[in-house]
Structure 1
């Protein structure tokens, strides 16, 4: 399933930019297009975000149905780039106690 998702992302996002590292390409698209693909096509939701620096925010997206996850960097210029993808995402945060009332 993960391999099919990676192939779909590679073919459906229009711009493919080379990464600074020669190891792998980074897929980039305008922020709204990236969000639409992640939410509508891959049933992912944004589960975390954090400021990386003055010009970018790191986002983590995950699909509850498949367990696939995607890390996306969104830049101040309006573009978002997928920097990592994987399978079997799980949350390590403790679940707060439920109030029985």
Structure 2
């Protein structure tokens, strides 16, 4: 009984020592944009104002299918929120007035 409790405690304790899941890569925006354009051939696809001090940007590559979502702050620092592959750009579908989807 005690062996199982100690083993479970050690396993859960070891799991808590791993790196944080929320670790982000942050650097000056110009440096990050340079890496995205040269290393991944990504271009700015979309952006929107998140709040008064930051903008969310989506960079994607039609050639490779890679994408990067980042937040650019007013102080010139950008942080990568997410990155991945198999990006597909969707074309908006026109709707009739008053009819959704």
Alpha carbon RMSD of aligned pairs, Å?
Answer: 1.6
Gaps of 5+ in 1: 1-21, 97-101
- TM-score (ref. length: structure 1): 0.69
The answer to which structure has the higher strand fraction is 1
Q: Which has more radius of gyration?
A: 2
Which residue, out of 22, 25, 28, partners 1:24? 22
The number of equivalent residue pairs is 75
1:95 is displaced (CA, Å) by 8.0
Gaps of 5+ in 2: 1-19, 95-101
- TM-score (ref. length: structure 2): 0.69
Which residue, out of 47, 60, 74, partners 1:62? 60
Structure 1: 4+ residue segments shifted above 2 A? none
SS of the residue aligned with 1:61? strand
